[in-house]
Structure 1
């Protein structure tokens, strides 16, 4: 009997040890499972391994692309007052890290990112020591290319397709409304500057991109030939030659402290100004190149252009 009891106790002890070992193995396996699954993405700077489903993302400038895909970054570059991004930015969830070209490495490290998306090419090597860092050449990509790439980086491919489809629907509807309002014939210019010189924008940035690239509005011949056809962002000109670039309607980017253009007879004699066909575009609203901002920009440009066409 005693021998039998000893055997039972020994067997129970062996089973208990086996159970402990099994539990230990299970914990080890679970810990291994917590390591993010990685995949390789092709970038303009070479292949980069990134998490398939990143959880803590930092984004420079193209912030609204992340928001448009349903991702709230844990850190971003500064959000300008008056921009569309103010609608979605929540300082309790997202840290404003300041200007994109001046991010502090310690502040970045403190956020424990698992993916960093930058427009500052120099930041790739510096921030790449903290987490996988991808350069986004936003100025070289179309909206579709940029948002599709963002979807790949964030593991949000389906969301990217839907967001692009929704944007294209908004653009198409807005284009039709503008054509019906007379913009099949009216030309549009986008200016930014003051009394000394004026920047004439093409289709590669900001409101110029919205007007010419997205909404397919007509540019004056000088803008088409000297800026758009030459793939330039913009050109700076003196007021003396401004009439050459002035369309039937002018969209002027406005900002605090800008010059009063009514002091210039050249400006006040432009047909667009004489005919009250001036649209003032808040600088911050037109500053960002991202899908969330672009939808708001399309809405603003469409509505304001229709008003002045009447």
Structure 2
């Protein structure tokens, strides 16, 4: 009888263990299914099946937009990596290029973001689902919203857009109250030898100044830079394009041009109404960059 009870007990244990393992197996499979869930993203090139929650993103373009939404970046382009604003946050992110698909493959991405102008797009699509954007097709706010949709973080993107737009517009109103409704601003960039002036959608804070704040643009800038986005100048012609304020995007530390009589004679320079920043920190129009520039503009225009 004791032997029979012992055998029955062993059989019962085996049944319990088997059920437990089956249950664990179902849980593990469920977890795997959850991580493998995909959604269809309507890209400008058509529908693309992408991970619902991408964990290894290679951003050959729009890396800063992804970073601003806490996307899981594993690879970015060299320009994004070199930007001082992202140096700390992207310390462990690799530099990759569309011209070296093997370096991208090695990162085992589950989502790739690329530009329509790039090469080897067919090769990238073989590595992972690839979403392609055309630079300038969307404005700076629409682009952030689109990245939000891509990462299943649309609500977070919308919240930032609404908040930032209100704050920038309010700052614009304060600037006009202080300096006049018709106050104008020019955005110049220089490496001390070459000069450019920008329109209203070429980064360097132009979207904030002209679109969000609705500040004035000098007539000559409208004529020559608005359509193309930028216009190349010489030092001698800078005064013709200068507004009441000058925003100066500087490449490098050579400031010899500031010693010239041409520069010194510009009214904005004489009045101490020049706002400067490093070009490396201003070549994108993502939330991190825009917040950084907004603080600079608040200080420069209002304090």
Q: TM-score range by the shorter chain?
A: 0.7 to 0.9
Distance 2:297 2:120 in 1: 34
Higher relative contact order (CA 8 A, sep 6+): 1
Query: Would the aligned equivalents of 1:206 and 1:288 in 2 still touch at CA under 8 Å?
Result: yes
Query: Would the aligned equivalents of 1:68 and 1:163 in 2 still touch at CA under 8 Å?
Result: no
Mark the runs of 5 or more structure 1 residues left unpaired by the alignment: none
Distance 1:30 1:82 in 2: 41
In the alignment, which residue of structure 2 is the partner of 1:128? 125
Query: Would the aligned equivalents of 2:168 and 2:208 in 1 still touch at CA under 8 Å?
Result: no
1:159 aligns to what SS in structure 2?
helix
Query: Would the aligned equivalents of 1:174 and 1:215 in 2 still touch at CA under 8 Å?
Result: yes
**TM-score using structure 2 length:** 0.83
1:39 aligns to what SS in structure 2?
strand
Misfit runs of 4+, over 6 Å:
none
Structure 1 residues 276 and 26, CA gap change in structure 2 (3 angstroms): closer
In the alignment, which residue of structure 2 is the partner of 1:109? 105
In the alignment, which residue of structure 1 is the partner of 2:86? 85
CA deviation string 1:176-215 (max 9, x = no partner): 3322221522211011125654211111111222221222
Query: Would the aligned equivalents of 1:80 and 1:284 in 2 still touch at CA under 8 Å?
Result: no
In the alignment, which residue of structure 2 is the partner of 1:60? 60
1:243 to 239, 242, 257: 239
Distance 2:284 2:180 in 1: 25
Structure 1 residues 293 and 195, CA gap change in structure 2 (3 angstroms): closer
1:192 aligns to what SS in structure 2?
strand
In the alignment, which residue of structure 1 is the partner of 2:148? 151
Distance 2:178 2:60 in 1: 37
In the alignment, which residue of structure 1 is the partner of 2:220? 222
| Worse-superposed segment, 215-224 or 37-46 | 37-46
Distance 2:24 2:85 in 1: 51
Is it true that 1:173 corresponds to 2:174 in the alignment? no
Distance 2:244 2:298 in 1: 15
**TM-score using structure 1 length:** 0.81
CA deviation string 1:228-274 (max 9, x = no partner): 2x2x2101123333222111111111122545213433222222222
Structure 1 residues 64 and 21, CA gap change in structure 2 (3 angstroms): closer
Structure 1 residues 134 and 267, CA gap change in structure 2 (3 angstroms): same
2:298 aligns to what SS in structure 1?
helix
CA deviation string 1:57-77 (max 9, x = no partner): 222342332232232422222
Deviation at 1:37, TM superposition (A): 1.9
Number of residue equivalences: 296
Distance 2:281 2:25 in 1: 55
Mark the runs of 5 or more structure 2 residues left unpaired by the alignment: none
1:287 aligns to what SS in structure 2?
coil
1:247 aligns to what SS in structure 2?
coil
Query: Would the aligned equivalents of 2:76 and 2:95 in 1 still touch at CA under 8 Å?
Result: yes
| Worse-superposed segment, 141-150 or 35-44 | 35-44
CA deviation string 1:109-137 (max 9, x = no partner): 23221111123532532322111111233
